[in-house]
Amino acid sequence: MTNYTENSVREEARAWLGENWNPNLDLFEWRNKLADSGWGLPNWPSDWYGRDLPVGLVPIVEEEFHRVGALPIPKSGIRMLAAATILNHGTEMHKQKFLRRIVTGQDVWCQLFSEPGSGSDLAGATTKAVMVGNKWVVNGQKVWTTSAHKAHWGLLLARTDMDATKHDGLSYFIIDMKQPGIETQPLKQMNGYASFNQVFLTDAEVLPDFQVAELGDGWKVATTTLMHERRAADSLRAWGQVPDNEGPIYDQERAEIETTMAPYKWYPQRAGRVDLIMERAKETGAIKDPAIRQEIAKLMTLHKSAEWTARRARSAQEQGKPQGPEGSLGKLAASNVARTAARVHTMISGANSMLSGEDSPENGTVSEVLISFPASSIAGGTDEIQKNIISERVLDMPKETRFDAGKPFKDIPRNTIS
């Protein structure tokens, strides 16, 4: 194993960028260079578009990219989840077929996990895959699927055995989204956006080669995907910050980001827009109200502790520690901040915060905070589920009595909707 140091990595990256980075390149051509050299995802294995670099040294490479304005790999959410899952559990064929196109950003991916009948109880999925002849035939309904309408490929969790227990009856597939058996419908939210889709699978087909891991291992593989989800959200945010540089390659990437990031436009509002609080308080004169000032101070205190808690988690990740159940901590802290911020925003804006759309303060931002923040304590696992995770997996408390353990899935009571 090669010994890396910060300096050796920095020098090597700098030298390579010096020879290869050119803002006049075509975006696709540049990404191919990244794939060939491994500098786009340096912590990936060197056999698969990476350089075997320890995760802790990746920020050094990122710094060098940033220094010369070189564009990184498009780290759009689900695509990177797919990559992580395939690297962990995929076959040689999966790696050959999908990884490079993920690195170059050619394929859009989506995640087909949640169902109308299985939300917090994700493993209760009832979408079925049945082997008919030499193909898997899939029937069921998925929901909360970001980018389903654009996706080329989907990560599918489906039930392959009704007689096995809940978790053991699930299998994991990669499904071609561009086929007649798949219909997507946008799901409109109360804040006006349609960031998600419902996906109807009617005799949709999957070739046996596109199964990931063994039959019945679906839950294990899905757990890998989910563990990378929060990390992916971070890199998505970083990628979505468009550099100001001028040049055709930047324009190309800006256009791509605009499309990819569209479903995520309300996410800052969902998080409460703490950054706007002081400005709004000054603008409206609410800053003179001692009661409001106290509420702002309290919000900023919660925000600061949440920020440092997140820093600790990020630092642990940079040291290469796997994301553990402590992730629930950050999630709970963040939804508390969002909730508090929405309340303070509306205290500041008063009755105006009830106006909708452009009439509402900050061109609609305040009202968007008010009608978006409830999603923060639901999406990615509700606050209540986070507390279950903390209590069972961090504090090691007794597991709640389960009524579905050890029984064949077909005998477990479930929602009538499916």
Partner 1 sequence: MDFELSNEQQLLKDSVNRLITENYDLKSRQTIIQSANGYSQEMWQQLADLGLLGLSFSSEHGGFDGGPVEQMIVMEAFGAGLVIEPYLSTVILGGNALKLSANGSNKSELLKKISTGDHLIAFAHSERHSRYQLSHVKTKAHVENNNWVLNGEKTTVIHAGVADTLIISARTKGTNDSTDGISLFLVPAETNGVTLRSYPTIDGMRATDIQLSNVSLPENALLGKCDNSYLIIENIEQQGIAAVAAESVGAMQCVLDMTVEYLKTRTQFGRPIGDFQVLQHRAADMYVAVEEARSIAIYAAMMVMEVDIEKRRHAMSTTKAQIGLSCREVGQGGIQLHGGIGITEEYAIGHYFKRLSMIERQFGDFEHHMTILSMMDTPE
Which residues does the annotation mark as catalytic?
229
- Inter-axis angle of helices 290-318 and 327-349, to 10 degrees? 160
Q: Is 398 in the site for partner 1 (CB under 8 A)?
A: yes
Q: Is 28 in the site for partner 1 (CB under 8 A)?
A: no
Q: In angstroms, rounded to a whole number, what is the distance separating the alpha carbons of residues 170 and 167?
A: 6
Q: Is 315 in the site for partner 1 (CB under 8 A)?
A: yes
Stretch that binds partner 1, among 78-86, 123-131, 182-190, 380-388 (CB under 8 A): 380-388
Identify the three-state secondary structure at position 133: coil
CB of 189 to partner 1, least distance (A): 27
Phi (first) and psi of residue 104, to 5 degrees: -85, -5
Among residues 41, 329, 366, 371, which is the contact residue for partner 1, using CB under 8 A?
Answer: 329
Q: Is 148 in the site for partner 1 (CB under 8 A)?
A: no
CB of 44 to partner 1, least distance (A): 24
> Within 13 A of 378's CA, how many CA atoms are on the CB side?
9
Stretch that binds partner 1, among 154-162, 210-218, 350-358, 393-401 (CB under 8 A): 393-401
Beta carbons of 125 and 141 less than 8 angstroms apart: no
> Within 13 A of 400's CA, how many CA atoms are on the CB side?
9
Beta carbons of 149 and 186 less than 8 angstroms apart: yes
Amino acid (1-letter code) at residue 232: A
Q: Which residues of 35-63 are buried (b: 16+ CB within 10 A; e: fewer)?
A: bebbbbbbbbeeebbbbebeebbbebbbe
Q: Is 319 in the site for partner 1 (CB under 8 A)?
A: yes
Stretch that binds partner 1, among 140-148, 240-248, 326-334, 342-350 (CB under 8 A): 326-334
Task: Please work out the total of residues on this chain that contact partner 1, with binding judged by CB under 8 A.
Answer: 38
Among residues 312, 402, 407, 410, which is the contact residue for partner 1, using CB under 8 A?
Answer: 312
Residues 267-306 within binding reach of partner 1 (CB under 8 A): 278, 290, 293-294, 296-298, 300-302, 304-306
Q: Is 402 in the site for partner 1 (CB under 8 A)?
A: no
Q: Is 382 in the site for partner 1 (CB under 8 A)?
A: no
**Residue owning tokens 């990819």:** 260
Q: In angstroms, rounded to a whole number, what is the distance separating the alpha carbons of residues 85 and 156?
A: 12
Amino acid (1-letter code) at residue 403: F
Q: Is 55 in the site for partner 1 (CB under 8 A)?
A: no
**Interface with partner 1 (CB under 8 A):** 278, 290, 293-294, 296-298, 300-302, 304-306, 308-309, 311-312, 315-316, 319, 326, 329, 332-333, 384, 386-388, 390-392, 394-398, 400-401
